[in-house]
């Protein structure tokens, strides 16, 4: 089976690029001696993780309970569930702990700490809790200098329902950086924020074993990681056009693409119509706010070579519309009905989520494996 025979649309993963992306991050973090706790919300597949690291990693980050359950069943015990915990989810966390998972949860308020501690006591377990720190005003967390950090730390440390496990942060604002200098500065801001929070806990006589930071842009541009015990990154394994737009990778480094077939032409408008709509590409338009808007994705030939001057301009549910960027013309005869193309996506997490499996290639056209993806909550 090769890419010319697959039913389309299909999600294609180039193992060769996956390994290169994995190695690049390992080299980068190896320089600082800081271990990686990969975020699996992008790949959602034990087979992909195994391939990327040559074995299953010992410690991971997850974004859902379903990911925690799936990867624990696959053999990974050390799990950080990096979305603020909802009290109703604690029973499922306790069940995972009872089964042997070393799961850590996160929260960012006294309200959540009280609710978690109470639930821990009721369930007869001590939840390991990491305090979420806000390094960039982007989403959630306590500001590094907020005295609530120590207050929450004391509660977690002293309660029979909880254990204080550390601090973590995520520089979501790194996605808005537009220069290497800005990325370097954001990485330092992220590092300093979480290390400052850890220092506050230690100064109050509390322990803080985990000091965790991470985003793909900051991990690749940090100049040092002093005081950090682990880095969490996910999208780097695939990379995508949003990352390329930030300057974190080149479009040629992106391991994920969607295989599509030409189904028609709108001659008047100069469009190539394909069977790769937003159901296959996702509705993600992450490059829309970047200096170069890549539409719904860049267009490659079957071998994965980018075709300059084309992009997926619009998408309906099962129709993709490819047009020349800037309204230039192209030779339609190169793209007859039945021709196959590959589309590099804006956002690997979103595009991956539209598919049930990866069709894996190794730099060529042969499909060497099919790796299932999990989903849901």
Interface with its own copies, residue 54, by CB under 8 A: no
Looking at 56, 59, 77, 92, which residue binds its own copies (CB under 8 A)? Answer: 92
Comparing C-alpha atoms, which of 132, 208, 127 is closest to residue 168? 132
Interface with its own copies, residue 375, by CB under 8 A: yes
Shortest distance, position 298 Cβ to its own copies, whole Å: 18
Interface with its own copies, residue 102, by CB under 8 A: no
Let me know: does 18 contact 36? Beta carbons within 8 Å. no
Range 60-79, binding its own copies (CB under 8 A): 63-65
Shortest distance, position 344 Cβ to its own copies, whole Å: 17
In the chain the beta strands, taken as DSSP E runs, fall at: 10-14, 59-62, 78-81, 102-107, 127-133, 162-169, 210-213, 230-231, 256-266, 271-274, 298-300, 306-315, 320-324, 340-344, 357-361, 369-372
Interface with its own copies, residue 263, by CB under 8 A: yes
Shortest distance, position 275 Cβ to its own copies, whole Å: 6
Burial classification of residue 7, based on how many CB atoms lie within 10 Å of its CB (0-12 exposed, 13-18 middle, 19 or more buried): exposed
Burial classification of residue 124, based on how many CB atoms lie within 10 Å of its CB (0-12 exposed, 13-18 middle, 19 or more buried): exposed
Cα 196 from Cα 202, distance rounded (Å): 10
Looking at 125, 130, 254, 280, which residue binds its own copies (CB under 8 A)? Answer: 280
Shortest distance, position 205 Cβ to its own copies, whole Å: 27
- Give the number of residues written for the chain: 377
Cα 290 from Cα 188, distance rounded (Å): 23
Nearer to its own copies, 277 or 304 (CB): 277
Shortest distance, position 237 Cβ to its own copies, whole Å: 15
Nearer to its own copies, 91 or 366 (CB): 91
Interface with its own copies, residue 333, by CB under 8 A: no
Interface with its own copies, residue 9, by CB under 8 A: yes
Contacts of 344 (CB under 8 A, 6+ apart): 240, 241, 251, 254, 256, 257, 297, 298, 299, 300, 306
Site track 303-332 with its own copies (rule: CB under 8 A), x = hit: -------------xxxx-x-----------
Phi, psi (5° rounding) for residue 42?
A: -80, -50
Half-sphere exposure of 278 (CA within 13 A, CB side): 10
Nearer to its own copies, 84 or 247 (CB): 84
Contacts of 58 (CB under 8 A, 6+ apart): 76, 77, 78
Nearer to its own copies, 78 or 313 (CB): 313
> What would the two tokens of residue 41 be?
């919300």
Looking at 163, 199, 279, 369, which residue binds its own copies (CB under 8 A)? Answer: 279
Range 196-255, binding its own copies (CB under 8 A): none
Interface with its own copies, residue 289, by CB under 8 A: no
Interface with its own copies, residue 350, by CB under 8 A: yes
Let me know: does 237 contact 255? Beta carbons within 8 Å. yes
How many residues of this chain interact with its own copies, rule: CB under 8 A? 63
Cα angle value 193/195/199 (rounded, 5°): 115
In 125-244 the beta strands, taken as DSSP E runs, fall at: 127-133, 162-169, 210-213, 230-231
Range 158-187, binding its own copies (CB under 8 A): 172
Looking at 174, 218, 233, 354, which residue binds its own copies (CB under 8 A)? Answer: 354
Interface with its own copies, residue 266, by CB under 8 A: yes
Looking at 74, 123, 140, 184, which residue binds its own copies (CB under 8 A)? Answer: 140
Cα 85 from Cα 299, distance rounded (Å): 40
Looking at 55, 139, 305, 334, which residue binds its own copies (CB under 8 A)? Answer: 139
Contact footprint for its own copies (CB under 8 A): 5, 7-10, 41, 63-65, 83-89, 92, 107-109, 111-112, 115, 134, 137, 139-140, 172, 261-266, 268-269, 273, 275, 278-280, 282-285, 316-319, 321, 336-338, 347, 349-350, 353-356, 375-377
């Amino acid at each position: 089976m090769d890419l010319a025979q697959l039913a389309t649309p299909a999600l294609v993963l180039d193992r060769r690029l996956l390994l290169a992306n994995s190695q690049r991050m390992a080299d980068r973090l190896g320089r600082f001696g800081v271990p990686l706790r990969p975020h699996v919300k992008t790949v959602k597949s034990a087979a992909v993780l195994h391939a990327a690291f040559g074995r299953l990693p010992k410690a991971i980050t997850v974004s859902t309970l379903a990911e925690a359950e799936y990867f624990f069943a696959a053999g990974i015990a050390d799990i950080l569930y990096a979305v603020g915990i909802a009290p109703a989810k604690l029973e499922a966390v306790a069940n995972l702990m009872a089964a042997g998972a070393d799961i850590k949860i996160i929260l960012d308020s006294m309200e959540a700490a009280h609710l978690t501690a109470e639930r821990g006591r009721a369930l007869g377990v001590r939840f390991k809790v990491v305090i979420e720190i806000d390094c960039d005003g982007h989403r959630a967390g306590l500001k590094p200098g907020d005295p609530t950090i120590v207050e929450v730390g004391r509660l977690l440390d002293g309660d029979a329902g909880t254990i204080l496990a550390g601090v973590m942060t995520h520089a979501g604002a790194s996605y808005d950086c537009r220069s290497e200098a800005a990325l370097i500065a954001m990485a330092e801001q992220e590092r300093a924020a979480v290390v400052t929070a850890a220092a506050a806990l230690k100064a109050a006589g509390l322990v803080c074993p985990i000091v965790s930071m991470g985003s793909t842009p900051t991990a690749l541009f940090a100049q040092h990681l002093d005081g950090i015990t682990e880095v969490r990154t996910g999208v780097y394994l695939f990379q995508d056009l949003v990352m390329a737009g930030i300057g974190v990778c080149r479009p040629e480094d992106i391991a994920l693409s969607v295989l599509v077939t030409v189904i028609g032409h709108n001659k008047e408008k100069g469009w190539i119509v394909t069977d790769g709509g937003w159901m296959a590409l996702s509705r993600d338009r992450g490059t829309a706010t970047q200096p170069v808007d890549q539409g719904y994705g860049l267009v490659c030939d079957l071998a994965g070579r980018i075709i300059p001057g084309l992009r997926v301009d619009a998408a309906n549910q099962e129709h993709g519309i490819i047009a020349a960027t800037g309204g230039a013309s192209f030779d339609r005869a190169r793209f007859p009905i039945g021709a196959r193309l590959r589309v590099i996506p804006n956002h690997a997490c979103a595009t991956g989520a539209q598919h049930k499996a990866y069709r894996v290639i190794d730099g060529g056209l042969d499909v060497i494996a099919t790796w299932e993806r999990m989903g849901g909550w």
